[in-house]
Amino acid sequence: MEKTQLGLGDQPTLTLGIAALLYAFSIVLIDIAPFFIGIYVDYLNLSLSQAGFVLTIDQAGGVLGAIVGFFLMPRIAWRKLIIVASIIATMANFVTAMVDSYMMLLVVRFVSGFGVVLITTVSACILARSLMPDRVFGIGLALAMTFSAVAVWVFDWLRVDYGYAASLGSGAIWLGAGILLAFLLPRSIGDPTESYDISGGGARASGSQVVGLAALIALGLFGISVNVIYGFVERIGLANGLDNSGVASALALGYVFSAFGSLIPTIFGAVGGRMKWIVLTTVVFFVSLCGLYSANTIALYTMAFAVYASAWNMGLAYYMSLTAENDPEQKFTRAMYIVNVAAQSVGPAIAAAVLAGAPLSIIFVIAPLPAMIAVALVLVFVSRSKKSMHANSLSTD
């Protein structure tokens, strides 16, 4: 039966819906990270380089969370993992509001990153069990954009009305809601005592695991490109002559508009071949960089950021789906957020390093390079896999 094959419990649609919400809530914490950098600079009096390092440490905790998830998921029921991770992340974000030293901030944000990305890792693997991963990843990412828009407004409202500390602790709101949602997941999902056929229909084509590995590497490279920019997106707006409130409004509206762009994988899936959509995503990403660099009004900055966020989410959906579709044992799938969060850590670290002796505009020179390598990598290996499949079919004939 389909339900047994998918390993999603007695109500697969409900399970995927809950997982999409959990996935979205966890991504909200990533999406509001640039505003944390601004508060670290303005409220805690850190330098821009130090603030970027805090973000790197946050994502380093996320790498550990993803690694822990990779090893624990075959051994511990996924519902239990998400509940524990949600509690850890909620407490860490609550404590962030009370931090008064740089070292304590580093520790607390490391713990937050650990819990948040453990949630993301497990929920992404639940979504990957869908028969149409492109579409469900698109839904999860569109929800994340919508919630992120609300989160930006809440963040700015708390900062203005209740102070910097309250806005720093705002992540606990989303993660606390995640705790309640996690209890609604079926107990059986990911239970190590259960055995599911999640391969989606039998034996895979020869060489597909190589494509899966190439897609996983490309996912990381694309992630580095978008994160070189993302950690400093608020500062880019300020450098373009916009004020703090204007940038907050632009990013919030950008998230709203990008929710529609993020639904492209949901609407179109992989119609015409996934590689076509990956190439298109890369082109859209490059266009968005040009827009962010030159946008000197709220309207232009909103549009540029919406296109940028849409391209980011399209890239995630298509690269993760390509990985999952070529991963019958789910090893690469479990590793997706090790790679994603490593990129979220490496990207800002690269940007922080080059910014130590160069103007902010230098990051626009660096950002496109990994994305170009990513699309070339998967094009080569997908092409080789198709040629191998064709040769095998001829030999069997």
Q: If residue 27 lies in a helix (H) or strand (E), which one and from where to where? A: helix 12-31
Question: Token pair for residue 263?
Answer: 């639904």
Instruction: Give the residue-averaged pLDDT of 313-323.
Output: 92
Beta carbons of 111 and 127 less than 8 angstroms apart: no
pLDDT at 131 over 70: yes
Instruction: Give the residue-averaged pLDDT of 364-386.
Output: 91
Residue 326 lies in a domain: yes
Instruction: Give the residue-averaged pLDDT of 57-70.
Output: 88
For residue 305, count CB atoms less than 10 angstroms from its CB and return exposed for 0-12, middle for 13-18, buried for 19 or more: buried
For residue 151, give its domain range.
14-396
- Name the residue with higher pLDDT: 4 or 235: 235
Residue 8 lies in a domain: no
> Which pLDDT does position 368 carry in this prediction?
93
pLDDT digits (tens, 9 = 90+) for 10-26: 788 899 999 999 999 99
> Which pLDDT does position 197 carry in this prediction?
45
Query: Looking at residue 284, which CATH number applies to its domain?
Result: 1.20.1250.20
pLDDT at 344 over 80: no
> Which pLDDT does position 4 carry in this prediction?
42
pLDDT at 346 over 80: yes
pLDDT at 158 over 90: no
Instruction: Give the residue-averaged pLDDT of 191-204.
Output: 48
> Which pLDDT does position 17 carry in this prediction?
92
Neighbours of 192 (CB within 10 A): 12
Q: Please give the tally of structural domains in the chain.
A: 1
- Concatenate the DSSP letters of all residues of 111-158 into one string: HHHHHHHHHHHHHHHHHHTSS-HHHHHHHHHHHHHHHHHHHHHHHHHH
> Which pLDDT does position 205 carry in this prediction?
38
Residue 6 lies in a domain: no
pLDDT digits (tens, 9 = 90+) for 71-116: 998 888 899 999 999 999 999 999 988 888 888 999 999 999 999 9
DSSP letter at 240 equals T
> Which pLDDT does position 259 carry in this prediction?
82
Q: Helix 298-325 crosses helix 133-162 at what angle (to 10 degrees)?
A: 140
**Helix, strand and coil in the chain, % to nearest 5:** 80, 0, 20
3-state secondary structure of 298: helix
Confidence of residue 60 (pLDDT cuts 50, 70, 90): confident
